[in-house]
Amino acid sequence: MNIIRGFATTFKHVLEEPVTTQYPEQIRPYRERYKGRHHLRRYANGMEKCIGCALCAAACPADAIWVEAAENADDRRFSPGERYAKTYEINMLRCIFCGYCEDACPTQAIELGSEFQLSFTNRRDAIFTKDMLIDPVPSGGADTPQTVKPGTYDRAIPDMENPL
């Protein structure tokens, strides 16, 4: 009896229209909560949001993130905090795209975007550096490092909605 039900199910699906998507001509829309390629964000004035705290690296269960911090100075300022990420690397072969790094970041500097087409020809290409991850300078903003007036940034995570 079970064999007859199995064959009936098989024949029912044989007569249906296939649901194959012809990739890459047709790209299926991704889900709203999909987590893809990482991005390091900037403020509107061009400063980097990453303050080099390495909480993202601590939260990563796959140990895929490496952050090396350095001190900011008023004549060479990368971020509004006391420190900035001198080195920021993500090993995409180890990353499981869980989003814990995004949740752990106090400045919302790291975000997972919607890009899913990641391919590598060797292991070195799979390590995304800060230059590969950081967003381009927004219009009206200045590239980092910047020179600022001493005492301009007196808080570790300032309100940066209005550029200076």
CB environment 16-48: b (16+ within 10 A), e (fewer)? eeeeeeeeeeeeeeeeeeebebbbbbbbebbbb
Q: Is the pLDDT of residue 162 over 80?
A: no
Q: Give this prediction's pTM.
A: 0.77
Neighbours of 105 (CB within 10 A): 20
- DSSP H or E run through 6: helix 2-14
Distance between CA atoms of residues 89 and 132, nearest Å: 9
Q: What is the mean pLDDT of the chain?
A: 87
Q: What is the pLDDT averaged over residues 81-98?
A: 93
pLDDT at position 65: 97
- DSSP H or E run through 157: none
Distance between CA atoms of residues 64 and 1, nearest Å: 52
Q: What is the residue extent of each domain of the chain?
A: 31-133
127-128 and 83-91: which strand pairing? antiparallel
Distance between CA atoms of residues 50 and 74, nearest Å: 17
pLDDT digits (tens, 9 = 90+) for 1-45: 899 999 998 888 888 888 888 888 988 888 888 898 999 999 888
Q: What is the pLDDT averaged over residues 87-93?
A: 95
Q: Is the pLDDT of residue 153 over 50?
A: yes
Most trustworthy range by pLDDT among 31-35, 50-54, 74-78, 79-83 = 50-54
Distance between CA atoms of residues 38 and 54, nearest Å: 15
Candidates 51, 29, 38; CA nearest to 96 is 38
Protein fold of 31-133: Alpha-Beta Plaits (3.30.70)
Is omega for the bond preceding 145 within 30 degrees of 0, making it cis? yes
SS3 20: coil
